[in-house]
Amino acid sequence: MAKDKQRKSGEDRLPQAPRLKDWQAALVIVVVVAFFFRDVILQKAFFWEDFLYFFYPIRNLAAVSMAGGELPLWNPFTFSGMPFQADIQSALFYVPNLLLTFFVSGGILNFYWVELQIILHYMIAGMCMYYLAKSYGLTGLPALFSGLVFSLSGFMIVHAIHQVIICQVAWFPLIVLLFRKSMLQKSLLHMILAGFVLGHAVMAGFPQVTLYIFLFLFFFFLFEFFSSVAKGGLKSSIPLVPLAAGMVIIALGLTALQLLPTQELAPLSQRAEISYSKSLEGSISYGRLITLLIPKFYGVSDASGSTFWLPKPYWEYWETSFYMGIAIIVLMVFAAGEIRKNRNVAFYFAVIAFALLYALGDDFILHKFFFFNVPGFDKFRNPARMSLWYTFAASILSGFALQRIMDTVSANAKKFRQTLLVTLGVGFLIWLSAQMGAFQPPGNSRTYAEIHNLATSEATVSLVFFLLVSGVLFFWSRRTISGMTAIAIVFILQIIDMNLFGFSQNNSVLNPADYYGRTRDMVSFIREDSGTEYVRVNSRKENAMLLDRNQGMVDRIFLMEGYTPLSLQRIFPPAKDWDGVCDLLNAKYRIVLDAKQRSMHLSTASTYLKRAFVVFDAKVIPDDTQLKAYMASDSFNPKRTVVLAEDPGFKTGDSSATGSANITSYRMNSISLDVDCSADGYLVMSEIYYPGWKAYVDGAERTIYRADWSLRATPLEAGSHKVEMKFEPDSFYRGIWISLGTIGLSAAGIVFSVVSRKRKTAPAS
C-alpha cells in the first residue's frame, strides 16, 4: 500500500516534473521539423508547384536586384512590365527576405536558400506557439506539444509551397501572445511590440491571411474586453480600447510603404473584383469534414501526382486540407470538459466552430455574409483557408487537453476511461460507415470500386491511430505505464501520424536548377541574337510553353507572359490578330506550334515594333470600345499613328517628318534615351503604362499618356532631346515617410515605457 501511495504521489507531481527548459523545447522543435523536411534539407527532394513557378522567381529577382544595388520597384521581365514592389506577394521588405540578398552568388540566388528559409519558419511557428501556450499557464510538455502540433499541422504542411503563407502564419502565435499581454498587463511596451510583429507579418505578403489575422484579433479583443468588464467593471476595462487601436495603428503605419503601393495596384489588377461564385472555389462541404479524421479519404494531390477524385481542380486538395492528427481529435474531447471551467478553452472552441462553418462556403451563411457585408472578404476565394483558425485553436486546445489529463488522470481514472471508450466507439462507427461506402458517390462502376478501396484503406489507417492513441491513454489511466512514457508515446504517434500524412507532400524529384536550366541554350541564343537591342519573347501559346511563365525573373529576359494574382488588367493591346499584339509588344521571338509534328519551336519575327520609336500622328479615342475597334481594324498603323485615350492638347500632323529614339540606359526603374524629331511628334514606348512613371525631357518633367491601350507616349517638340523615364510612385514615397515616422514614434514609446518601469521599480530595489 505504501508503494501505491508513493506511485500515486509521483503521478500527481507529473505536471511539475520534469522541468522542460525553453532551450530544450527549442531543440526538440528544431530536430522534429528538420527530421520532417530531411529530404529537402539533404537535397534529395525539392519544393514544387507554386514554389517553383512563382515564389522562387520572385525571391530571385528581389535578391539579385538588391545585391546589385537596385531597388526593384518595377519588374520589366514579366507581362511586358508590371509593378514589382507594389505586388504584395513580392514581400520585398520582409526582413528574412532581405537577408536572402547576402546569399546571391554569380548573379543568381540558389533556390536552396529559399527552401531553408521556409523550413526555418516552421521552427519559428513552433516556438511562437510554445510560448503562447506557456502564457496560458501550460507547463513545458503540453506547451511543447502545442508548438509541435502547430508547426507540423496539415495546414502548414500543404502550404509549404506557398512561402508567403508560411512566413506570415509563423508569427501568428507571437502576435496573439504580445497582444494578450498588452491587454492583461495594460502594457504600452507589449502593445508596441505587438504592432511591430503584426506589421512585420503583414509584410510577409499574403493579404488573405492578413485579413483573417486581423479578424481574429478583433474577436480576441472583444473576448478579452468583455471578460475584463465582467471581472473588474467597465471603467477599468476602457484602457484596453486604445491599446488595441494602438497596435493596429502601429502595424498599419509600419507597413505603409507596402500597403499604399498595393492599394494603388489592386483596383488596376485582375483581382480588382471577383464574383461570388468564384469566391467559392476552395470551400468544403459537410461531407468533406470527414477529412478531419481521414485526411486522404478523397485522395491526394502531392509532388508525385494526384489521386484526388472529387470533381474539383487538383489544387483544391491542399486548399481544403486541415488534418491535425488523430491524437488531436482524441485530446480535444478531453479539452471540451474544460469549457465551463476555463473561459480560454471556451473561446478557442468557438474559434474552431467559426472556422469550420466559414470554410463551408455556400453550404453555410458565414462566408456569404462576410463576402457581401464586410470589406475585404469579397476579394478572395478559397474559404477553406479559414482552417488557419481551426489549426491555431486546435493546437492550443491540444495543450490544454494534455495538461488536463496530466492533472486528472489519476483522480478521475474511471470517468476518464469512460470518455475514452465513447470516443473510440464513435471513431469505430465512422470507420464502419466508411467501409460501407458512406461519403462516396453512389454507383457500382469500376471507378467507384477504385475510389472505395482508396477511401477504406485510408479510413483503416486512421482507425489504427485511434486504437494506438486511445490504448496509450487507457493504459496510463490504469497505471500500466507511467505518465512520462504515455506522453512520450503520444508525442511519437503524433509525429508518425503527420509524417504519414505529409512527408511526401512537398518532396518533388524535380530540381529547380534543372527545371530552369533545361532552356539554357534557348536563353543564350536570345541574348546573343538580340545583342544590345531590347526585345521581348512570346513563349506561350494556348497550353504550350517554351519558357516558364516567370522565367524572365530568373534569367532576366523580357517576357510577354507571366503569372501573379495581381497582374494588370491592361496587358495585351487589341489588334486584328495575335501577331499584331506581339508586334505592339516588341516581341521579336515567338513560339510556333506544329500540330502535325506535335512540336514547338522559337521563330524570329521582323514586323515587331522597336522598344522606343517616334510617330507624328495621333488619334484621340476616349471610349474604350471604339478604341479597341479602331486598333483591331486595318486602318490602324502603329508605326505611324499613336492612339491616345486622353487629349494632350499637342498638335502634330507632318506626315513627312522623321525621327529616331535610341535607348542609352535601361534599368528596372529608369530608362534613358536620345531622341531626334524633325517635327513635333510623340515618343512611343512599348512599355506598359502605369501610374508612377514620370518622363523628364531635357530635365523638365512631362506627362506620360496611356497610348495604344496599354503602352506609353510622351509629346516632344522638334529637335534633339535627352529623355529619361523614371518609376517614382508617390504612393511608395509617402509610405516610406509614414513607416519611418511610425518607427520613430514607436521607438520613443518603447524608451518611455522602459524608463517608466525603471522609475516605478527604483524605490523597491
108 within some domain: no
DSSP, residue by residue, 514-534: HHHHTTHHHHHHHHHHHTT--
Q: Domain boundary residue among 604, 623, 638?
A: 604
Q: How confident is the model at residue 6 (pLDDT cuts 50, 70, 90)?
A: very low
654 within some domain: yes
- Overall average pLDDT of the 423-452 stretch: 77
pLDDT at 1: 42
Confidence check: pLDDT of 14 > 80: no
Residues 227 and 248 both lie in one domain: yes
Tell me the backbone φ, ψ of residue 128, rounded to 5 degrees: -60, -40
738 within some domain: yes
- Overall average pLDDT of the 56-78 stretch: 97
Number of structural domains (the chain) is: 3
Asked if 162 and 137 count as a contact pair (C-beta separation under 8 A), the reply is no
Residues 223 and 236 both lie in one domain: yes
Q: Domain boundary residue among 569, 604, 639?
A: 604
389 within some domain: no
Residues 218 and 235 both lie in one domain: yes
Read off the C-alpha cell for 93. 521588405
Residues 561 and 576 both lie in one domain: yes
Residues 715 and 623 both lie in one domain: yes
Strand, coil or helix: 263: helix
Q: CA–CA separation, 707 vs 226, rounded Å?
A: 57
Q: What size, in residues, is the chain? A: 765
Residues 616 and 713 both lie in one domain: yes
**Domain limits at 535?**
518-604
Q: What percent of the chain has pLDDT over 70?
A: 96
Residues 582 and 644 both lie in one domain: no
- Overall average pLDDT of the 448-471 stretch: 87
Model confidence pLDDT, tens digit, residues 671-696: 999 999 999 999 999 999 999 999 99
Residues 721 and 735 both lie in one domain: no
DSSP, residue by residue, 323-341: ---HHHHHHHHHHGGGTTT
Residues 668 and 720 both lie in one domain: yes
Q: How confident is the model at residue 482 (pLDDT cuts 50, 70, 90)?
A: confident
Alpha carbon distance, N-terminus to C-terminus of the chain = 51
Confidence check: pLDDT of 46 > 60: yes
Confidence check: pLDDT of 461 > 70: yes
Confidence check: pLDDT of 17 > 70: no
Residues 568 and 660 both lie in one domain: no
- Overall average pLDDT of the 348-359 stretch: 97
Q: Which of 213-222, 470-479, 504-513, 726-735 is predicted least confidently?
A: 470-479
* Amino acid of residue 117: Q
pLDDT at 595: 75
pLDDT at 335: 92
Q: CA–CA separation, 27 vs 473, rounded Å?
A: 26
DSSP state of 679: S
Residues 653 and 754 both lie in one domain: no
What per-residue string of b and e applies to 693-719 under the rule 16 or more CB within 10 Å gives b?
A: bbbbbeeeebebbbbbbbbbbbbbeee
pTM, whole model, 2 decimals? Answer: 0.94
Model confidence pLDDT, tens digit, residues 220-252: 999 999 999 999 899 989 999 999 999 999 999
Model confidence pLDDT, tens digit, residues 77-106: 999 999 999 999 999 999 999 999 999 999
Q: Which residues pair with 721 in a beta bridge?
A: 675
Model confidence pLDDT, tens digit, residues 167-191: 999 999 999 999 999 999 999 999 9
698 within some domain: yes
Residues 638 and 691 both lie in one domain: yes
Q: The cell 531590347 sits on which residue?
A: 534
Q: Domain boundary residue among 604, 628, 663?
A: 604
Asked if 559 and 536 count as a contact pair (C-beta separation under 8 A), the reply is yes
Strand, coil or helix: 73: coil
DSSP, residue by residue, 630-667: HHTSTT--TTTEEEESS--------TT--EEEEEEEEE
214 within some domain: yes
Which residues, 6+ apart, have CB-to-CB distance to 109 below 8 Å?
59, 60, 63, 64, 100, 103
Strand, coil or helix: 696: strand
